[in-house]
Chains A and B, each alone.
Chain A
Amino acid sequence: MAFTQRHLLGLEGMSAEAITAILDTAASFKEISERDIKKVPTLRGKTVINLFYESSTRTRTSFEIAAKRLSADTINLSASASSVSKGETLADTARNLEAMRPDALVVRHPLSGACALVARHVTCPIVNAGDGCHEHPTQALLDCLTIREHRGQIAGLTVAVVGDLLHSRVGRSNVHALRALGATVRLVGPPTLLPPEFATMGCDVHTRLEDGVRDADVIMMLRIQRERLGGIFFPSLDEYSHYYCLTEDAVRLARPDVVILHPGPLNRGLEIASSVADGPYSLIMNQVTNGLAVRMAILYMLVARSKAVQFADEGSGTAALPAAEPVRGRSGGRA
């Protein structure tokens, strides 16, 4: 297995082999969610804590269901309900949670690098569920899985990522993953939200939507964070929409078999027209479904491995992994 990290803090620097290993595992997990009884015992007796310092519906629900479908126990902590309001530091909160022996901490935080900070203070696996403007690795992985499902492979595709690249953790993680997998990545947005340094990360930088989406295989729209941008980065939402809203006209510039992605939540009519979001080329709901599989894969790969390591440390042989193997065995048969 090429994915050997203890934590999933980001996708920067991750090899194509490692990413592919995660995607393969995720693909194999999809079937579980189609069963009548949507549960396997893989992580029975394991505890996964979702520590969310930022509001989230989709990602938190997805992680929680993912853990539960693998039979792990899950606990959700949100910032307002935790000790944060009493002034406890992030490191202290993480250490206290670890003292209760969880098997993974899923962390979302409004500040970049927060997950790396937590990982410095605890030993259990950390999954970054979005840290500030830094990375949102499981989102990019589910995007890659979705694209791969529809196009067979990612190498050689041209992917246009449109929106607020400056502040987007989804954008960054996708740049790393898509570049690693051999896609051509075009970034599109107003100059105020598209630092030219992205070119040094191997991306093509476009400020006009028409240039960016022309002949693209994939168009990935990013959410405009209305709350933090007004007036400083562009004059008004109307004006943003005028230049960057993905309309059917814009989609027609892309390849005929183009597919559209959006991490959600959608700002309909702002960055994406409803007719596009709901159109035949939209894979937005597939993304959500695949998100569940990707998170199951990540939890499985991080938690099952830490169990194996633990068993090996105790000199008890390697009995741990085979117990989890049948699921992967099935995937091998299907592939």
Chain B
Amino acid sequence: MMNTDYILHLADNALILGQRNSEWCGHGPVLEQDIAITNISLDLIGQARSFYQYAAELLGATEDKLAYLRDVRDFKNCLLCELPNGDWAQTILRQFFFSSYQYILYQQMVEWPDERLAAIAEKSLKEVTYHVRWSSEWVIRLGDGTEESQARMLKAIDYLWSFTGELFTPASYETTTLNKQPWQQRVEDIFTEATLPLPGNVWMQTGGKEGRHTEHLGYILVEMQYMQRAYPDCEW
């Protein structure tokens, strides 16, 4: 049987980043980009649902129960996904780091023997391909833009970089390791085009995959789970 912790990890990544991005809804810098980022949110939440549904079948639970009734320590998403949106630079850099990772992961997953995961990966890969393209172009646009946009990108790199190591640090329940090289190469290429410096080796944060989260996740869950906890099994 497929490792359910790992499926939950995939689902939590997508759900929490989707929830984060959805905070931009109605607040995007311009109308067109407001729609773009919320489209990405919906793609991610859709992916999360596919994974939760699979995990729910294996665990004898429901997708709602897995998404809305687990607590902070049960969530297995990477820390990167739960970090605050900050400004537009921080949001798009977070998306760029994560989508580039997801792209490599799903590319491998389509070959996995688990047919269910392979199918989810195949469907999601088309979405993620666009997320990578969209976020890459924004990194270039802001990095190679004005003095202010570049300063904001540098600040975002400084804040987010130490959270990228966890993407490639296997958790106890992960049986496959992902080669970091293609990700590193992608980031290098885009940063070069964006005239942004690539950070050196720094100490990397970990813990999210094992349920040890930043202080931010609790607040996300409070907002996201409020309805289901206040009105259990509510429907509309």
A and B are interacting partners: no
What is the interface of chain A, defined by CB distance below 8 A to chain B? none
What is the interface of chain B, defined by CB distance below 8 A to chain A? none
